[in-house]
Structure 1
Amino acid sequence: MRVTTDLWASALVRRVFGAGGFAAVLKRGAGEAGAAFLLVRDRFGSLALLGPAPQTSYDSARPDERLFVRIAPDETAEQLDARIEREKRFDPDIWVVEIEVGSVPIEELVSIRD
């Protein structure tokens, strides 16, 4: 059974803080099933946007975990902000969580498919 997006985002924020990083929910969407996007900033200031993986990335019909893919890896901060705004217009129920990673890499906090 998959947990609600609200609970999942809260747990992610706690895990990031526990790992010495910083996280904040920039946009709160539908509490039960809103799609989550992660804006990840590393110690050197570079940004990455992670979005929900396509359904074809999952092995089972009802997955237990959330999978993410890197979206637009070479875009600037302004381009990523514009992309997030387009996603918000397309689906107003999305969640956006900004993360500044600490001592633990983002790959240990969320599942990423490349």
Structure 2
Amino acid sequence: MRLRTDIFVSALMRRVFARGDFAAVEAKGAEEAGAVFVRQVFRNGTESLHAPAPQSFFEEDDDGRRLFETRLERADADAVAEAIARERRFDGDLWVVSIEADDLSGLIDFAGAKPQDDGFFRR
């Protein structure tokens, strides 16, 4: 069973702040099951966009964790904003979380990567 989106986002924000980084919810979607997009902002002004990974990355015994894939990497802020706008036209219930950090390790799990062993967001 997957954690509600509002709880996932709240916990993500707390972890970001605990590391000394900054995060903000740019768009709030469906509280129970909205898709989460992470907008990673770098110091040099470039951004990366991380989106929910396709279902093909999940195993049959899905443990409920959220996996992400990188859609845009170190792109211009306008390109990231345009990609988010396209996604919002398709799915108005999505969340957008902006995180100002050079490294997202320990915050979100990426498809194909070994899961973090900190027990966070695990059942």
CA displacement at 1:113 relative to structure 2: 2.3
Q: For 2:42 and 2:106, how far apart are their aligned partners in 1?
A: 14
Q: For 2:84 and 2:61, how far apart are their aligned partners in 1?
A: 28
Task: Answer whether contact 2:5 2:31 (CA < 8 A) is retained.
Answer: yes
Q: For 1:78 and 1:44, how far apart are their aligned partners in 2?
A: 14
1:113 alignment partner in structure 2: 111
Which deviates more, 39-48 or 85-94?
Answer: 39-48
Q: For 2:60 and 2:44, how far apart are their aligned partners in 1?
A: 37
Correspondence 1:29 to 2:29: yes
2:60 alignment partner in structure 1: 60
Q: Identity rate of aligned residues, in percent? A: 42
State TM-score, norm by structure 1: 0.90
Divergent runs of 4+, >4 A: none
Aligned length in residues:
112
For 1:47, the aligned partner's letter is E
Higher helix share: 1
**Unaligned residue ranges in structure 2 (runs of 5+):** 113-123
For 1:43, the aligned partner's letter is R
Q: For 1:74 and 1:19, how far apart are their aligned partners in 2?
A: 22
**Unaligned residue ranges in structure 1 (runs of 5+):** none
Q: For 1:93 and 1:61, how far apart are their aligned partners in 2?
A: 26
Which deviates more, 6-15 or 54-63?
Answer: 54-63
After superposition, the Cα gap between the structure-2 partners of 1:21 and 1:74, relative to the gap in structure 1 and judged at 3 Å, is closer
Q: For 1:26 and 1:74, how far apart are their aligned partners in 2?
A: 19
Cα-Cα RMSD? 1.6
Return the structure number with greater relative CO, CA threshold 8 A, min gap 6.
1
Correspondence 1:39 to 2:39: yes
Equivalences for 1:99-110 in 2 at 5 Å? Answer: 99-101=99-101, 105-110=103-108
CA displacement at 1:41 relative to structure 2: 1.3
1:97 alignment partner in structure 2: 97
State TM-score, norm by structure 2: 0.84
